[in-house]
Amino acid sequence: MGATITEKILARAADKNSVIPGDNIWVNADILLTHDVCGPGTIDIFKDKFGVDAKVWNPAKVVIIPDHYIFTADKMAQRNIDILRAFAKEQNLPHYYDVGTPRYKGVCHVALPEEGHVKPGEVIFGTDSHTCTHGAFGAFATGIGNTDAAFVMGTGKLLIKVPETLRFILNGILPDYVAAKDIILRIIGDIGVDGATYCAMEFQGEAINALNMEERMTICNMAIEAGAKNGIMEPDKTTMNYLNARTKEPLNQVHGDKDAKPAKIHNYDVSSFVPCVAEPHLPSNYAPARERSNVKLDRAYIGSCTGGKLTDFIMAAKILKGQKVKIDTFLVPATAEVAENLLRETIDGKSLLEVFAEAGCKDIAPPSCAACLGGPEDTFGRAHGKEVIISTTNRNFVNRMGSKQASIYLASPLTTAASAITGQITDPRDFM
Amino acid sequence: MAKADNDIITGRTYVLGDNIDTDLIIPAKYLTLIPGIPEEYRKLGSYALSGLPDEHLRFVAPGKEKSDFTVIIAGKNFGCGSSREHAPVCLGAAGTQAVVAESYARIFFRNAVATGELYPLESKQRLCDLFKTGDNIEISLKECLITNMTSGSTFELKPLGAAGPVVKAGGLFAYAHDEKMI
Ligand code: SF4
């Protein structure tokens, strides 16, 4: 029997001819990613278990991208950056993207591929649940805790269980004003927040092939919201074009076998998909945007690894151009590169930055995770009360954006921008 | 760190429902604490489950570092969301010895096993509808049983499966050592 792309990558990483779902195997890691929230704890365990003078298994494979609590006066947050900086220096890590320097990037999951650290067929472990984002490039990528990460740091290996594959075949043409976010929210709505627990979510089909890399990342990013171990897509020309512009290193694609037998196949025709939201307090609370037009909003938020990429801001600008927002609208580009492109990218002769300023959005914040996960009290865009928020982020759990009383609706950048203009949940096709 | 010395865990339960996510278990503003630093470990314990809505009985009483409850009973998908190891760690620091849930989110389960902070046990039945906060219980790890001493009924737990040997060894590092990986 043939193997899925996930099984093939894992077999190769385990130096085996083949593996089957349920096998517990030791795999070699190609990249270990960490950031300021989990990095210090990981380093602490690494030193405790391997010794204070221990060296990481391969400095070129450890990537540290501080992004969570950056622009804050919080002393503990600053101490944690100091720990990362000292560790990077002591270990001679070439891929540390330090705060307060021109190397600073922003949200790790957008920066990692931008900087050429993601390659098809590789195994990527990250101390962050949204590490699954990188499956969009045909890699096996999954989130792990500090103890596991410390183990990888010291040995380059990790014991993992081969997941079963759930295949999602998405055919048809995505209608205008419907985005990748609408695809993944629809799927999570159908299978639930534990619908893919322990599984690989594999996305294929002409609707996926038609998406650019950033939209593909949005889909894989939220695989964890259905409980998946990883999200994954086969690499193609779009993947290679993106990566060849980012790295000079050789790229080897891994593909699944034609006769692979996933545990389950879900078929979708995306031509019937509509702009939607996930209502509080679970990403699986799917509702078409049009059916929730009675919901009044206090705030719109565009940012994060899910919805703060250049494509997301282009979508938002398409709606906001020549309009005025009615509610507080917070924009946080995921990375420094995205921020620069807001200035460069134009729409009818105006930069995206100008479009947003003229629409009355708040001044753009520097790149980081910002209010996506609440964070310290002084975090840009953080909720402090009973705000009703529409957001391009990935989680709408109680307390996610900093306040237990706040309500978060997840949506695409198009739906978020349209809703910012009216102050109510709005189908972006009203602005066609 | 609260592993049972023998195969029996006893204590009082704290009962929760489905989809208890990591933002409820440990709100993001406390993630600056480093679990390996003893003082910060204890602080993490004092904030365990502090993201729950205010109507809930506090898991750790204000001003305390440890909870009066040593076993958490929950529904489906316990620990969903973030990969923050602070989640099982804060529960362990608060004195939690075991969580008994209908099912777990993958990373929480894995982190609980890798750290050895607590036993992530799965019940065959939905116990969160049958147990009340404050019930006295006894868990036999060897026999895979949980008894509610308050109501007098006993329920089966699922065996730990592939994670069993790792838990038994005392976490990932100890297991890897036994396996001669390190
Ligand atoms: S942007 Fe949000 S979801 Fe993404 S890594 Fe940062 S905190 Fe996590």
Most B CBs within 10 A among A20, A27, A35, A148, hence the mutation to make, goes to A148
B32/A398 Cβ within 8 A: no
Q: What is the pLDDT of residues B117-146, one digit of tens each?
A: 999 999 999 999 999 999 999 999 999 999
CB nearest to A41's CB, from B21, B34, B103: B34
Which member of B21, B104, B162 has the closest CB to residue A397? B21
Q: With contact defined as beta carbons under 8 Å apart, do A232 and A124 qualify? A: no
Cα–Cα distance for residue pair A170/A211, rounded to 1 Å: 11
Q: Does an H or E element contain A384, and which? A: none
- How many whole angstroms separate alpha carbon B80 and alpha carbon B77? 6
Taking the CA of residue A35 as reference, the ligand 1 atom at the shortest distance is 5
Tell me whether residues B32 and A24 touch, CB distance under 8 A. Answer: no
Q: Give the span between the Cα atoms of A371 and A270, in whole angstroms.
A: 31
- DSSP state, residue B157: B
Best CA proximity match to A356, nearest among A310, A419, A313, A393: A313
pLDDT recorded at residue A280: 98
Name the band, by pLDDT with cuts 50, 70 and 90, for residue B182.
confident
A155 residue type, one letter: T
Cα separation, B42 vs B45, in Å, equals 5
- The pLDDT of residue B1 is 39
State the average pLDDT for chain B. 93
Torsion angles phi and psi, residue A277, rounded to 5:
-130, 160
Identify the band that residue A378 occupies on the pLDDT scale cut at 50, 70 and 90.
Answer: very high
Instruction: Give distance in angstroms: CA of A361 to centre of ligand 1.
Output: 22
**Taking residues B144-164, what's their average pLDDT?**
92
Mean pLDDT of A33-57: 98
Instruction: Specify whether the CB–CB gap between A131 and A124 falls below 8 A.
Output: yes
B residues 68..107 contacting A (CB < 8 A): 76-77, 80-86, 88, 103-107
For residue B159, give both structure tokens: 């065996």
Nearest to B176 among A38, A151, A400 (CB): A151
Chain B residue nearest residue A143, CA to CA? B83
d(Cα A394, Cα A416) in Å, to the nearest integer?
13
Distances from the Cα of A193 to the Cα of A236, A322, A395, B18, B100, angstroms: 29, 38, 11, 10, 19
**B84-120 burial, b for 16+ CB within 10 Å, e for fewer?**
bbbbbbbbbbbbbbbbbbbbbbbbbbbbbbbbbbbbb
Cα B7 from Cα A220, distance rounded (Å): 41
What pLDDT, on the 0 to 100 scale, is given for residue A62? 98
d(CA B133, CA B130): 10
Residues with CB under 6 A from ligand 1: A 67-68, 107, 109, 128, 130, 304-305, 369, 372-373, 393-394
- Contact list in A for residue B21 (CB cut-off 8 A) is 395, 397-398
**Averaged pLDDT of chain A:** 97
B24 part of contact set with chain A, CB < 8 Å? yes
Q: What is residue A101's predicted lDDT score, i.e. its pLDDT?
A: 98
Q: How confident is the model at residue B7 (pLDDT cuts 50, 70, 90)?
A: confident
DSSP, res A363: P
Enter the tokens of residue A218: 């949005």
Q: How far is the CA of A250 from the centre of ligand 1 (A)?
A: 29
- A57 C-beta neighbours (distance < 10 Å), count: 17
Instruction: Give residue A232's pLDDT band: very low, low, confident or very high (50, 70, 90).
Output: very high
Angle at A283 between CA A277 and CA A286, to 5 degrees: 40
Give the DSSP letter of residue A22.
Answer: T
Coil, helix or strand for B138? strand
- Residues B18-38 have pLDDT tens digits of 999 999 999 999 999 999 999
Q: Which residues of A touch B105 (CB under 8 A)?
A: 194, 197, 227
pLDDT band of A235, cuts 50, 70, 90: very high
- Tell which of A199, A373, A378 to mutate to test the B interface (max B CBs under 10 Å): A373
pLDDT in tens, B54-113: 999 999 999 999 999 999 999 999 999 999 999 999 999 999 999 999 999 999 999 999
Mean pLDDT in residue range A238-242? 98
Q: Ligand 1: which residue has its CA nearest to atom 1? A: A304
Instruction: Check residue B127 and give its pLDDT.
Output: 98
This prediction has a pTM of 0.97
Which tokens hold the place of A124?
């990527």
* For residue A343, pLDDT beyond 70: yes
Q: Would you call A376 and B76 a contact, using CB atoms and an 8 Å cutoff?
A: no
CA–centroid distance, residue A371 to ligand 1 (Å)? 9
What pLDDT score does B115 carry? 92
Kindly give the distance from the C-alpha atom of residue A90 to the centroid of ligand 1, in angstroms, as a whole number: 27
Mean per-residue pLDDT for A127-146?
A: 98
Whether A409 and A299 have beta carbons less than 8 Å apart is answered as no
Ligand 1 centre from A372 Cα, in Å?
Answer: 6
**What is the pLDDT at residue A108?**
98
Contact A145 B114 (CB under 8 A): yes
Long-range CB contacts (within 8 A, 24+) of B50-56 = B50/B26, B51/A398, B51/A399, B51/A404, B51/B23, B51/B24, B51/B25, B51/B26, B51/B27, B52/A398, B52/B16, B52/B24, B53/A398, B53/A404, B54/A404
Output the pLDDT for position B5: 52
pLDDT on residue A351: 98
Kindly give the number of the ligand 1 atom that is closest to the alpha carbon of B82: 8
Q: Is B10 helix (H, G, I), strand (E, B) or coil?
A: strand
- Give B28's contacts in chain A (Cβ within 8 Å): 373-375, 400, 402
Please say if the pLDDT value at position A207 is more than 50: yes
Helices of type H across A245-291: none
